[in-house]
Each structure stands twice: as structure tokens, then as C-alpha cells.
Amino acid sequence: MAQAYVTETGGGADQGREGSRIRRLRGWFGSWRGDRRIWRRGVVVAVLALLLALVLVLHARVPNSVGNLGSLTETFLPWLGVLIPLLLVLALVRRSATALIALLVPSVVWLNLFGGLVTDKTGSGGELTVATHNVNADNTDPSGTATDIAKSGADVVALEELTETVVPLYESTLEAVYPYHEVVGTVGLWSKYPMSDTEAVDIKLGWKRAMRSTVTTPEGKIAVYVAHLPSVRVKLAAGFTARQRDKSADALGEAIADEPIEHVVLLGDLNGTMNDRALNAVTAQMRSTQGAAGSGFGFSWPASFPMARIDQIMVRGMEPLASWALPATGSDHLPVAARVTIDTSGD
């Protein structure tokens, strides 16, 4: 009986504390009523909220003439949404109705831009699974990375940032799963299906970081492009140094536009996101598998705390059904994969 009494008493105390919290919360919000200052307070927070909405809506108008600021903003554009809960806290602390109403604007804009990425659009089926991975030239465990790739389940795998010393390791580890492969410069393609017409793609660098190959699948031929666009850096004096990346993206876009095969897959590290206007030569003619069939943002870099989707799988003349990030390897990038269906009705 004593034990039962203690339990009941403890439960009553918990309920009492919960009721006390609710009463305090009601009292806090109740104090807003009749306080005319709730409309005058928080003007600065309201202005910041509206400015945030403007940047989200007009990000394409942010100029690139000064340190490629526009591309930098677009690279991390989804992360601007983090400012909304921060401004919400400030609005509540200031007890400002004006700020709370103003915050509805960036909230609606952000949801309109990125709400679709949050939902799960994964579908079933698909005849082809593809993957891409920047294996990192400084990878301290290339053997483990190669083993992980062999277990990925992909039919076609693209690797970037290959060095001469590790190519034999990847070849020997992957040959049992992928009997066909080609390496061009620092990029390579491994396939379960026959490959032909493999050649380098000139992306205006002076060395080979892009390639193209025809892969003959049971559903027909597809053109597979592998690319590793130049890296970008954020420097205090120069801003977002992306000029060489932008030039290479234009060249890659021209090559894909001239591709005679209807079904095209682009795999690689583009060092840019789908929001970045500098990649328009590519993104305007291809479809992102993550945007069409992914679950979440699918950030791939850096592997320790992914903040941007710069490793891309894009298709033309094919339907994405699923897209996902694979577990981390010894690289500073996450591998990404997608499952697609090849529409041969028009062939």
C-alpha cells in the first residue's frame, strides 16, 4: 500500500507541474492581449525576415560580378532556412506580432522552393542502378573504399579523383563485379554491361577529368558521361573562386547537347549544386535524380557533416525512380546512387 501511495503521489506531482507550466504559458501569451506595443516591437526582426524572403525569391538576381556571390548564395541556399527558427525565437522574445506575421513570408517561400525535397519521392522498379563517387586522391583507405563500391549493388559506377597509384587497386577489386571498365585521366567508369566508344571529353582544363562511353544495357544503349569539374574555394579577398569551374561546366553542357544517343546519364562531382546558375549549361537539359526521386536533400559533401549536394546523377531520356546517398567510405565525399528506368518507347 505504501508503494502504491508513493506512485500515485508522484504522478499527481508530475501532473501538477505540467499544469503549472501550461498556466504559465497561457499567462505569457495572455499578457500579449491588450499590449499595443506588440505591433511596434520587433520591427528589426520583421525587416530581417522580409529581407530573407527577398534573397530566397530573388537569388538568381544576386550578382556574380563581385566574388561570385550569387553562386555562393545558391550553393548553400537551402541552409538559409535555418535563419527562420532563429528569427522566430527573437520574435517570441520580443513578443512582437509584427515579426511573427512577417516570418510567414520566408517560411512560405522556403517551403515552396524546397518543401518538395523533404518529402520521400522514392519509387519502385527500374532496370538500371548507377552510382558515382569522388574517392579522394588523399584517401587513406582506398582498399576499403573499393570494397564498399563493389558491394554497392550498382550496375554502372563512376569514380573521380583517381590517381595512377590506386587505379590498379580499384581494377583488381572491382573486376569480379564489373567486367568492363575504362579510365581516362583521373576519372573512370566500371560497368556490368559492355562499353564502347569511350573517349575523353574536353572541358577546357588542359588535362583529362571527363569522359564519355556507350554502355549497352539489356534495354538498349545509353551514353554515360563522367565528369569532375574544377574545385571552388571561398577566399576572403577573391570571394567564391569558381571561374574555371564555370568554364568547364559550359564545355560539358555543349558536349552533352551534341550527344546523338537519346538516353544519357551524367555521373560525377560537379562541385556545384542544382541551384547554382553557373551550371545552367548542364542542368537546363538534364534532370536531377535527387530532385525527381530522392528523399531529403541528399547532401554529399563533406562526408563528416554533409552540407551540399555537389555529387550529381542526372539523366536525359530516362525516368528517375529512386536516389540516395550511400554510407561513408574513406573519402571526404559520400557516394550517391540512383535507380532509373529506360524509356525505349520512342526508339
CATH number (domain holding residue 138): 3.60.10.10
Residue 10 lies in a domain: no
Q: What local confidence, expressed as pLDDT, does residue 66 receive? A: 74
Do 149 and 52 fall into the same domain? Answer: no
Residue 76 is assigned to a structural domain of this protein: yes
In a domain, 219, yes or no: yes
Task: Please check whether residues 102 and 250 belong to one and the same domain.
Answer: no
Inter-residue contact 265 to 223 (CB < 8 Å):
yes
Would you say residue 5 lies in a domain?
no
Could you say which of 95, 118, 141 is where a domain stops? 118
In a domain, 14, yes or no: no
Q: Are residues 99 and 218 in the same domain?
A: no
CA distances from 271 to 167, 278, 302 (A): 22, 11, 11
- 87 and 227 within one domain: no
- 169 and 54 in a common domain: no
Residue 24 lies inside a defined structural domain of this protein: no
What's the CA gap between 10 and 266, in Å, rounded? 62
Q: Does the pLDDT of residue 204 top 90, yes or no?
A: yes
Average pLDDT of 99-127?
94
Contact 241, 271 (CB under 8 A): no
Q: Both 68 and 207 in a single domain? A: no
Domains contained in the chain, number: 2
Last residue of a domain, one of 61, 91, 118: 118
DSSP 112: H
Residue 23 lies in a domain: no
Residue 202 C-alpha cell reads as: 574536353
Please report, rounded to a whole number, the percentage of residues in the chain having pLDDT higher than 70.
Answer: 86
Instruction: For residues 69 and 64, give the distance between their C-alpha atoms in angstroms, rounded to a whole number.
Output: 5
d(CA 125, CA 26): 52
Residue 294 lies in a domain: yes
Please say if the pLDDT value at position 191 is more than 70.
yes
Indicate the residue among 85, 118, 151 that finishes a domain.
Answer: 118
Same domain (yes/no): 203, 90: no
At 160-188, the pLDDT tens digits run 999 999 999 999 999 999 999 999 999 99
The three three-digit cell numbers of residue 279, written as one number: 551550371
Are 105 and 229 found together in one domain? no
Together in a domain, 214 and 112: no
Strand partners, 342: 318
State residue 2's pLDDT score: 47
- Regarding whether 256 and 146 lie in a shared domain, the answer is yes
> Checking DSSP bridges between strand 187-191 and strand 336-342, what pairing results, if any?
unpaired
Residue 18 binned pLDDT confidence (cut-offs 50, 70, 90): low
- What confidence tens digit (pLDDT) does each residue in 242-271 have? 789 999 999 999 999 999 999 999 999 999
Q: What is the DSSP letter of 167?
A: H
How far, in Å, CA of 182 to CA of 211, rounded? 9
How many Cβ atoms sit within 10 Å of the Cβ of residue 245? 24
For 58, the domain range is 32-118
Distance, CA of 138 to CA of 181 (rounded, Å): 22
Check whether residue 147 and residue 257 sit in a common domain. Answer: yes
Residue 169's nearest CA partner among 195, 141, 193, 131 is: 141
Q: How many CA atoms lie within 13 A of 315 on its CB side?
A: 25
> Do residue 207 and residue 58 come from a single domain?
no
